């Protein structure tokens, strides 16, 4: 971490518990267990871990979709209340936006692209009419879409186009931070590369901060300067991307790295004794 950089996110002692199961099998899961971290303004921090590690819960608490049980969050210099008023929720949404894994689920299938982005402009910037249409065209252009896409419904777009719309909608609020929760995991590999390049370009041009939630270590190396590794709600390792991926210190990080598919790998087929792991 660059000690001289302003921290746009500061998290201290964050805890979140969920009660799961019924009757005698009911138990408490510590989704976040004393999590503390900072994210420097303009940086990209990747948060990695297997399913259930707490990384998505961390993202949801940051953007206000879940409330922490304890701990403190400071976003863009302002403490975040655990039970914010409406004005505080709106102010947080201007500072931080989220792009979800499944754009098809996060976009309203009955509303056009123009309506989806226009709603954000109206809420956060009170822009409507001709000015809103101009801003929507600009945003679509920034994510590699044409003005004609504004009239489309989500179902008329490909998965990659839908995710570009979701990114444009997040940008419409003009946030300082974007949380990307497995934002390319549902896309084909070739489309993933295009969207990752787009995100890097947008971050550079707008000087945005990214919190990149992912399980894919190959993506981590492409997008982030630093990595946090989470396991069972706790941070077990943090460092530069090269250090964590090439010289991991924690056994769990070693396990994650070694279990990732290598270039040229393909699974053994049942009954096919000739299939081998292939190093490219």
pLDDT digit string (tens) for 55-69?
999 999 999 999 999
d(CA 257, CA 252): 9
- For 18, the domain range is 7-259
* Residue 280 clears pLDDT 50, i.e. is over it: no
pLDDT at 271: 46
Per residue in 184-207, pLDDT (tens digit) is 888 888 889 999 999 999 999 999
Task: State pLDDT tens for residues 199-249.
Answer: 999 999 999 999 999 988 888 988 999 999 999 999 999 999 999 999 999
**Has residue 280 been placed in a domain?**
no
Dihedral (C-alpha) 174, 179, 180, 181: value to the nearest 10 degrees? -140
| CA dihedral (163, 242, 208, 205) positive or negative | negative
Rounded to whole angstroms, the Cα distance separating 7 from 89 reads 20
The CATH number that applies at residue 233 is 3.40.50.300
In the chain, how many domains are there?
1
In a domain, 275, yes or no: no
Q: Which residues lie below 8 Å from residue 251, measured CB to CB, with a gap of 6+?
A: none
Confidence of residue 261 (pLDDT cuts 50, 70, 90): low
| Mean pLDDT, the chain, integer | 88
Residue 254 CB contacts under 8 Å (≥ 6 apart), including other chains = 248
Q: List, in order, residues 6 or more apart from 122 with CB less than 8 Å away.
A: 128, 132
pLDDT of 4 higher than 70: no
Kindly state whether residue 266 falls inside one of the protein's structural domains.
no
Q: Is residue 23 part of a domain?
A: yes
pLDDT at 274: 40
The per-residue pLDDT for range 76-91, each reduced to its tens digit, is 888 988 777 888 888 8
pLDDT of res. 3 = 38
> Residue 253 pLDDT more than 70?
yes
Residue 75 lies in a domain: yes
Per the domain annotation, does 119 fall within a domain? yes
Q: Which of 32-36, 105-109, 266-270 bottoms out in mean pLDDT, i.e. has the lowest?
A: 266-270
Percentage of residues in the chain having pLDDT higher than 90: 66
Mean pLDDT confidence for 259-273: 53
User: Rounded to whole angstroms, how far apart are CA atoms 233 and 14?
Assistant: 10
In SS3 terms, the chain reads as CCCCCCEEEEEEEEEEEEEECCHHHCEEEEEEEEEEEEEECCCEEEEECCCCCCHHHHHHHHHCCCCCCEEEEEECCEECCCCCCHHHHHHHHHHEEEECCCHHHHCCCCCCHHHHHHHHHHHHHCCCHHHHHHHHHHHHHHCCCCHHHHHCCHHHCCHHHHHHHHHHHHHHCCCCEEEEECCCCCCCHHHHHHHHHHHHHHHHHHCCEEEEEECCHHHHHHHCCEEEEEECCEEEEEEEHHHHHHCCCCHHHHHHHHHCCCCCCCCCCCCCCCCCCCCC
């Amino acid at each position: 971490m660059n000690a001289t950089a302003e921290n746009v996110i500061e998290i201290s002692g964050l805890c979140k518990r969920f009660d799961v199961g019924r009757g005698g099998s009911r138990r408490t899961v510590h989704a976040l267990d004393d999590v503390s971290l900072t994210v420097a303004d303009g940086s990209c921090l990747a948060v990695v871990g297997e399913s259930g590690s707490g990384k998505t819960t961390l993202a949801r608490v940051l953007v206000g979709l879940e409330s922490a049980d304890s701990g403190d969050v400071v976003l863009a210099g302002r403490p975040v209340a655990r039970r914010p008023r409406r004005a505080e929720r709106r102010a947080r949404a201007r500072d931080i936006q989220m792009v979800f894994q499944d754009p098809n689920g996060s976009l309203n299938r009955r509303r056009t692209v123009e309506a989806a982005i226009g709603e954000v402009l109206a809420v956060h910037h009170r822009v409507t009419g001709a000015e809103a249409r101009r801003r929507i065209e600009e945003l679509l252009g920034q994510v590699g879409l044409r003005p004609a896409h504004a009239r489309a419904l989500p179902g008329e777009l490909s998965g990659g186009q839908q995710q570009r719309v979701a990114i444009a909608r997040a940008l419409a609020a003009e946030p300082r931070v974007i949380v990307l929760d497995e934002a390319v995991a549902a896309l084909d590999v070739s489309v993933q590369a295009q969207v990752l390049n787009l995100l890097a370009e947008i971050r550079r041009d707008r000087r945005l901060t990214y919190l990149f939630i992912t399980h894919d270590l190959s993506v981590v190396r492409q997008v982030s300067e630093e990595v946090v590794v989470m396991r069972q709600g706790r941070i077990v390792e943090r460092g530069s991307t090269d250090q964590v991926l090439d010289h991991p210190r924690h056994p769990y990080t070693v396990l994650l790295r070694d279990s990732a598919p290598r270039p040229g790998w393909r699974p053994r087929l049942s009954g096919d004794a000739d299939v081998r792991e292939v190093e490219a």
